[in-house]
A and B are shown apart, each in its own frame.
Chain A
Amino acid sequence: MGKLYNAIFSAGIALVLACLMIGVKLDTDGTTLKVHGASPEQWSWIIGGIALVFLSQLFADQIDAAFGKIPKPNLSNLIPEGDKMVRLKPWLLAGVFVCMVIWPFLVSRGSVDLATLALIYIMLGLGLNIVVGLAGLLDLGYVAFYAVGAYTYALLSQYFGLSFWVCLPISAGMAALFGFLLGFPVLRLRGDYLAIVTLGFGEIIRILLNNWTAVTGGPNGISGIDKPSLFGLEFSRRPSEGGTTFHEFFGIDYSSTYKVIFLYLIAVVLVAFVIYVINRLMRMPIGRAWEALREDEIACRSLGLNRTAIKLSAFTIGASTAGFAGSFFAARQGFISPESFTFIESAIILAIVVLGGMGSQIGIILAAIVMTILPELAREFSEYRMLLFGLTMVLMMRWRPQGLVPMKRPVLELK
């Protein structure tokens, strides 16, 4: 009985939403507004959709059971345990690293470019994971720190001619500073309130960048941002005055592929650095404190842990990672505008964290790769990108709510 009610209710909601969003359309006709109904064909789609919602709710249990039968490959079992892992780990890591370095020379330029993008999202996912997965703070405005990092490099490079390598730590520092300034007043808030404030903060930063035309160029953004150089060697066709280019130095022909591969290699190094730092953090007192605070805040307070300081550290470190990724993004793109830092970016990064399995680094790396490569593979569906995105989320939550690779904590053992 409850099922039927549920199904009718869901179908009703679907009907109302579909009618409002697809069923009626407003058009301007000269100075007046006209309301159009949907075409008969669209109506048949809407009715079909509503029937689907009704049936899927009515037979939710059976569907869940069917989902349950789909085998769940336990990815975390692929990772060897205990002593074996300790022995294998250095070799495994070295192997992965070598593959990552050799791979770009064997494939097309487009793939390398895409891989670089995926690496940026891995950095962002890992950074947000500190805040959401490890410290348990829901941050919906993470993209703000990404923007701060990107604009820090773009502006410093444009106005003061500073190089990428100098700006990289400055960008991370700026983003950390913003994280600190935002976190200080708002980390007292809990759960949903924190989410709303951070959401607002993300928008404020974007709107600020959009309107502060004198400095940021407003909606036009900043273009012609310098690319990173290799110990002073540039990757452009012609050297800037007093500079040397890479191909001239090595006496080879110019090819723009070098630049793409170089950017990719920088991204690999940055990601490796971020992974190293986060792995250390998780084994350090601060990492344990994040975990403890997530489990029982009251017990933490009674033991002399300053919860504001601990949350703030997670927020700040997460923000600085985004700043890192941001300045690299600006350097790779050569052009940034507020368009690149809309809420949907925050949502995608959060989706990476949730799909990957909160707290789990391997899961997040996989999810980031999937989330960047899938839209490229399904280019013909690009109009339906958000729809597919939503569908993936719903299916994942039904099939594997704990994420691709559920988190496994590094456990400290005595002796």
Chain B
Amino acid sequence: MSQLLLDVNGLTMQFGGLKAVDKVNITVKNRQIVSIIGPNGAGKTTVFNCLSGFYIPTTGSVLFKGKEIAGMKDFQISRQGLVRTFQHVRLFSNMTVIENMLVAQHRHLNTGLLSGLFKTPSYRRLEREAMDRAVFWLKEVNLLDSANRESGNLSYGQQRRLEIARCMVTQPELLMLDEPAAGLNPNETKELDELIIRLRDEHEISILLIEHDMGLVMGISDHIYVIAQGMPLADGNADEIKNNPDVIKAYLGES
């Protein structure tokens, strides 16, 4: 049996009387693209918040690489190799693109006050390595030309790509993307599509994706989970989901 990268069991998140997420199960294997879809307000982002430690789940277990991470602090979880983006872009907009990429590597760089104050050789080496990693990922998302621009001045599509690069430079094993295609034009969506597939096939990571763009989801997902009103509705591959009467009803009922 190949070990599961992520194994979510009976995840429930209650806000007062509202069960925003109710007994959701998700599994992600290595080198898989898994999507979560569902109508607006279904609780998809709340699932992400629970997995990434922003909320502490009311009940349920979250195993990442076989280790329980529910209840861990957000920064501890991301250090395990589980990193996310946000539904609304969150860049350090007064900082340049390259600086954004370095902040993401803070943990690797921040080795000690004294080594930094005196610029010891080991500090310089770490800094150079971090720079190289940043350059590598900026090249991957086609942003190298904008490296010295202030990130707040980038176009929306570029900001989205920078957000992904900034996650990737932390060397995660599971990348969680919250509606990465929202607000992108068809061209940019196609580039994003290719990027996500490349992340899986070349960089060998897994991706958990929340997305409303059905074309994108159906085209790239290895497995799809549907959530409605916090509860799991269905799961399966693209064809199974497309033909599932419950799913069709949930989406038609919404509109």
Q: Identify the A interface with B (CB < 8 A).
A: 277, 280-281, 284-286, 288-289, 291-292, 295-296, 298-307, 409, 411-414
Contact = CB atoms under 8 A, between A and B. Distances in A.
25 contacts: A285-B109, A288-B95, A288-B103, A295-B94, A296-B92, A298-B86, A300-B103, A301-B74, A301-B75, A302-B74, A302-B78, A302-B84, A303-B103, A303-B106, A303-B166, A303-B167, A303-B170, A305-B75, A305-B103, A305-B106, A306-B75, A411-B99, A412-B98, A412-B102, A414-B148
A276 to B, nearest CB: 9
Contact of A296 (B73, B91, B116): B91
Given A305-B107, A413-B98, 18 more contacts: A284-B116, A284-B117, A285-B102, A289-B103, A296-B91, A296-B92, A299-B92, A300-B103, A301-B75, A302-B74, A303-B78, A305-B75, A305-B103, A305-B106, A307-B75, A412-B96, A414-B131, A414-B147
A261 B26 CA distance: 72
B80 to A, nearest CB: 9
A286 B114 CA distance: 12
A187 B88 CA distance: 27
A304 B147 contact: no
B83 A286 contact: no
Given A300-B103, A302-B74, A413 B95 contact: no
A412 B127 CA distance: 12
B92 A295 contact: yes
A115 to B, nearest CB: 28
Interface in B44-100: 52, 54, 73-75, 78-79, 83-86, 90-96, 98-99
B4 to A, nearest CB: 22
Contacts of A414: 98, 131, 134-135, 147-148
B252 interface: no
A288 B106 contact: yes
Contacts of B106: 285, 288-289, 292, 303-305
Nearest to B94: A295
Nearest to B108: A285
B113 interface: yes
A280 B83 CA distance: 30
A306 B91 CA distance: 17
A299 B91 contact: yes
Contact of B170 (A284, A304, A411): A304
Contacts of B90: 296, 298-299, 302
B125 to A, nearest CB: 14
B117 A280 contact: yes
B92 A280 contact: no
A285 B126 CA distance: 11
B167 to A, nearest CB: 7
B220 interface: no
Given A286-B110, A292-B103, A305-B75, A280 B84 contact: no
Contacts of A411: 96, 99, 148
Contact of B110 (A277, A289, A291, A302): A289
Nearest to A298: B90
B186 to A, nearest CB: 28
B233 interface: no
A301 B110 contact: no
A289 B73 CA distance: 18
Given A286-B113, A414-B98, A303 B83 contact: yes
B199 interface: no
B102 A288 contact: yes
A295 B91 CA distance: 8
B42 interface: no
A302 B52 contact: yes
A414 to B, nearest CB: 4
B104 interface: yes
Contacts of A298: 54, 86, 90
Given A291-B95, A295-B95, A302 B116 contact: no
A300 B92 CA distance: 9
A412 B92 CA distance: 14
A37 B66 CA distance: 79
Nearest to B135: A414
A312 to B, nearest CB: 13
Interface in B124-149: 131, 134-135, 147-148
Contacts of A284: 116-117
Of B93, B104, B134, most A-chain CB atoms within 10 Å: B104
Given A301-B74, A303-B167, A285 B147 contact: no
